[in-house]
């Protein structure tokens, strides 16, 4: 990956379009390797471009995806835990904690409104 100006585009491409955020095994180290960066360099770029860490950014993408699923009637048959797993969370506690931090409510309350 050449040119520091393009890192944000590459990160968005990998995490959003490539749905890297949905893979619970996808890590900052793997993203850094894909970009030809050290984890430290990636961390600096994320802070500069997004104002947050890798895990904060990934959680934000996951929660926004979960919110779309929870609003969509097509996903009504799926449990909250199913939706959490679909967007990349390994466990209920992490999903609920991240969801509440971003959305200000639990996934159940969000779904009901």
Averaged pLDDT for residues 76-95: 96
Q: Tokens 């969000």 identify what position?
A: 110
- Does residue 87 contact residue 104 with C-beta atoms inside 8 Å? no
Q: Give the model's confidence band at 4: pLDDT under 50 very low, under 70 low, under 90 confident, else very high.
A: low
pLDDT band of 5, cuts 50, 70, 90: low
Give the pLDDT of residue 1. Answer: 46
Residue 48 to residue 62: CA distance in whole angstroms: 21
The per-residue pLDDT for range 28-66, each reduced to its tens digit, is 999 999 999 999 999 999 999 999 999 999 999 999 999
Question: What global pTM score does this model have?
Answer: 0.90
CA distance 60 to 79: 20
CB 82 within 8 A of CB 43: no
Q: Position of tokens 């959305």? A: 103
């Amino acid at each position: 990956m050449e040119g520091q100006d393009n890192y944000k585009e590459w990160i968005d491409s990998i995490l959003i379009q490539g749905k890297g955020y949905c893979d619970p095994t996808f890590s900052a180290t793997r993203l850094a390797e894909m970009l030809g960066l050290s984890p430290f360099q990636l961390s600096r770029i994320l802070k500069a471009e997004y104002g947050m860490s890798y895990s904060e950014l990934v959680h934000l993408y996951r929660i926004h995806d979960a919110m779309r699923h929870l609003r969509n009637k097509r996903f009504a048959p799926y449990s909250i835990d199913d939706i959490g797993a679909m967007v990349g969370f390994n466990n209920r506690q992490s999903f609920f904690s991240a969801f509440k931090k971003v959305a200000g409510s639990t996934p159940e309350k969000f779904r009901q409104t």
